[in-house]
Every structure is written in C-alpha cells, then in structure tokens.
C-alpha cells in the first residue's frame, strides 16, 4: 500500500485565502469551486494534498483574475505568467531569459519584479516586492520558489540554490522554508534574493514551445505544492544531517557513500557551491544551538557538550562568530521576545 501524500501546511493555505478576501472574494465560494471538501474549510484543518492545493491556487488565480492573490499593490491578470513564459522560451541562455523576464514584469507599474546582479563566481536574483501588501510573506515565498523552479525547468537541470535571503523577520512558519528551499535561509536581510553560481547563467535554454504548453497545464501552482525538486549538493547534505543527532553526524566519506557519490566528488561539488563539508557541519550545529538556547531548561554547558564541543569556551567563540553575540545574550534576547 502506498503511503498517503503529505498535506499542505495551514500557513500556505490561509495566506492566499486572506489575500483574495481583501479583494472582496468569498473563501468558501473559491474552496467549493476548486472541488474541495467544505468540512475541511469549516474545521480549519485543511488536510489537502499537493494536487488539491494546485487546483485551489489555479482556481483562485482564474476566478479572482489576480495571480498576485491580492498581495501586491496591483493585480496580475490571469494569464500574465503564461505570457511571460512565452516571452522567454526562445531565449538563448538562462541569463538572457532572466533579463527578458525582468523586462516583461517591468512593464507593469507596481508589480513585483526580479533583478539579476551578476558576480564573478556568485550571482543574486533579487525579488523586488512591497512587503506591506503581503503580511504573511506568502507572495514573496511563492516568487522565490517559482523563479528558482522555473529557471531550473527552463535549462533542464537543477540550478544549485546556495542561499535564500529574506528582507523580513522569521515568520511563525519559518521552519517550513527548509522544506520549500532545502538550502540555508537568512532572515532580516537588507534585500530578498536567491544566490546561485554565476556559471549557470550561461546554460542554454533547453525547453521548447511544445514542452512549455505541457508545462503550463499545471505550473506554477504545482511548484508550491511539493518540496524543492532541484536540490543542490548543499541541500542534500543538510537534509542528510537532519537524520542524525548532532554528536553522531557522519564523516565526509560516510556522507558521500550515503549520497552515492565519491568523497572527491562531494568535495568538488561543495566547492563549486562555495561551501565545504566542515562549514555545513558547523552551520547545522549552530542552527541546533539556536533552537536549544530558545528553551530555558538546558544549561549552556550541556548544549555545548551535546553539540560535540569539548570545551564550553570553544562553543562560546564559535557561537559569537556565527551570531555576533554570546549564547547567554542570544538566550536572553529570545526569552525577552517571548514575553513581549
């Protein structure tokens, strides 16, 4: 018997429903139009799977005639995304497609847009969006995921996603970002952007108008209904680490074997993605430390030992380097936030 398909998190359902309610639409009408069980709407549990969710979003875009779902200062009429895809399908390279997509959305005053900043080894794809219209950050999350998945599909291979940077504080559902992006996510940054290797910008567009027709039958709604299918080696290794206690993380060679690559290949792939095995291991330890310090019951010394630090002073130095403050200061700030 096959296992049941995972359900979509409530946060990703409530946000677009609230958005279109601000346009004057009734969520129950939209829910029923998508063929979904009214009892789920009444209960607020929303136990719907990816296929149901893609159908709901498609219904919202079509019925409300707004692909931005009321979460931007202007509407994006139904079919706009499709026309943008048709505008870029004959581009020669990913960089060409990025510039044309930017020019396309720049035609609409007030619409969210993208902007490429090309570096020697790393490049950033910026999402230019007005967050005051998007209180749950759902449209911003969607745009980050859609652009990455679209461009990966366009060149016929997964584009390594090295980091995701968000200009807003961590939302209540911040833990879902790891499922959505499978790569490090930083909040409270100056701008919102995806970071990718510059080398992928020269990849040729491998799709055709014929394959685009099939693609548009379900996309981009299905992009948001499933985990990132184009994981970098960084993402795969981070997912592997999450299966282990911090003190039992596998060695590089053991990790390579579990990922069905050689140790040399793993080192090379991580180097191409501007990171290393040790750096990712340290990142996971610091993320775990942040979670543990947010709880008042464990001592800092116990946390250091659990994370594999032989000396508490070594943990203090590593944490200060990572967060810019001591573990004690970080804990005090987190506890203060809870009581605000």
Neighbours of 43 (CB within 10 A): 10
Residues sharing a CB contact under 8 Å with residue 146, sequence separation 6 or more, in sequence order: 220, 223, 224
Q: Which of 30-39, 169-178, 307-316 has the lowest mean pLDDT?
A: 307-316
Segment 149-169 mean pLDDT: 88
Q: How far is CA 284 from the centre of its chain?
A: 17
Q: Are 220 and 150 in contact (CB under 8 A)?
A: yes
Segment 131-152 mean pLDDT: 92
Q: Where are the domains of the chain?
A: 11-64, 80-225, 233-338
Q: Is the pLDDT of residue 227 over 60?
A: no
Segment 163-171 mean pLDDT: 92
Q: Is the pLDDT of residue 1 over 60?
A: no
Segment 285-313 mean pLDDT: 82
CATH of domain 233-338: 1.10.10.60
Going by pLDDT thresholds of 50, 70 and 90, the confidence category of residue 3 is: very low
315 vs 126, more confident: 126
Residue 244 CA to residue 241 CA, distance in Å, equals 6
Query: Mean pLDDT over all residues of the chain?
Result: 86
For 8-50, write each residue's pLDDT tens digit.
888 899 999 999 999 999 999 999 999 998 888 887 777 788 8
Going by pLDDT thresholds of 50, 70 and 90, the confidence category of residue 2 is: very low
Rg (CA), the chain: 21
Neighbours of 199 (CB within 10 A): 12
Residues sharing a CB contact under 8 Å with residue 134, sequence separation 6 or more, in sequence order: 19, 71, 72, 140
Neighbours of 166 (CB within 10 A): 23
Is the pTM higher than 0.75? The answer reads: no
What pLDDT is recorded for position 228?
58
Q: How far is CA 264 from the centre of its chain?
A: 28
Closest CA to 194 of 115, 121, 269: 115
Q: Is the pLDDT of residue 158 over 60?
A: yes
What pLDDT is recorded for position 31?
94
For 289-302, write each residue's pLDDT tens digit.
877 887 777 788 88
Segment 266-295 mean pLDDT: 81
DSSP codes, 102-150? HHHHTTSTT--EEEEEE-SSEEEEEEE--GGG-TT-HHHHHHHHHHHHH
């Amino acid at each position: 018997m096959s296992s049941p398909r995972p359900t979509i998190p409530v946060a990703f359902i409530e946000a677009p429903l609230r958005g279109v309610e601000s346009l004057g639409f009734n969520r129950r009408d939209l829910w029923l139009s998508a063929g979904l069980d009214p009892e789920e709407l009444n209960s607020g549990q929303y136990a719907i799977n990816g296929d149901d969710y893609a159908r709901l979003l498609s219904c919202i875009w079509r019925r409300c005639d707004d692909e931005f779902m009321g979460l931007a200062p202007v509407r994006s009429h139904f079919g706009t995304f499709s026309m943008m895809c048709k505008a870029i399908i004959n581009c020669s390279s990913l960089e060409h497609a990025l510039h044309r997509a930017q020019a396309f959305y720049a035609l609409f005053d007030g619409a969210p847009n993208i902007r490429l900043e090309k570096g020697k080894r790393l490049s950033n794809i910026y999402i230019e969006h007005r967050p005051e219209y998007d209180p749950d950050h759902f449209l911003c999350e969607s745009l980050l995921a859609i652009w990455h998945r679209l461009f990966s599909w366009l060149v016929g291979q997964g584009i390594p996603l090295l980091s995701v940077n968000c200009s807003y504080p961590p939302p209540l559902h911040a833990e879902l970002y790891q499922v959505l992006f499978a790569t490090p996510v930083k909040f409270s940054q100056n701008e919102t952007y995806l970071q990718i290797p510059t080398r992928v910008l020269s990849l040729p567009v491998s799709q055709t108008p014929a394959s685009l027709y099939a693609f548009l039958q379900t996309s981009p709604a299905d992009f948001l209904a499933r985990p990132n299918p184009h994981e970098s080696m960084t993402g795969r290794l981070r997912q592997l680490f999450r299966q282990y206690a911090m003190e039992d993380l596998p060695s590089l060679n053991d990790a390579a074997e579990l990922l069905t690559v050689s140790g040399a290949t793993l080192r090379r792939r991580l180097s191409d993605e501007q990171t290393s095995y040790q750096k990712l291991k340290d990142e996971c330890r610091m993320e775990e430390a942040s979670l543990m310090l947010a709880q008042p019951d464990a001592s800092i010394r116990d946390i250091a030992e659990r994370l594999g630090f032989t000396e508490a002073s070594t943990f203090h130095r590593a944490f200060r380097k990572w967060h810019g403050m001591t573990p004690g200061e970080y804990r005090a700030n987190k506890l203060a936030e809870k009581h605000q």
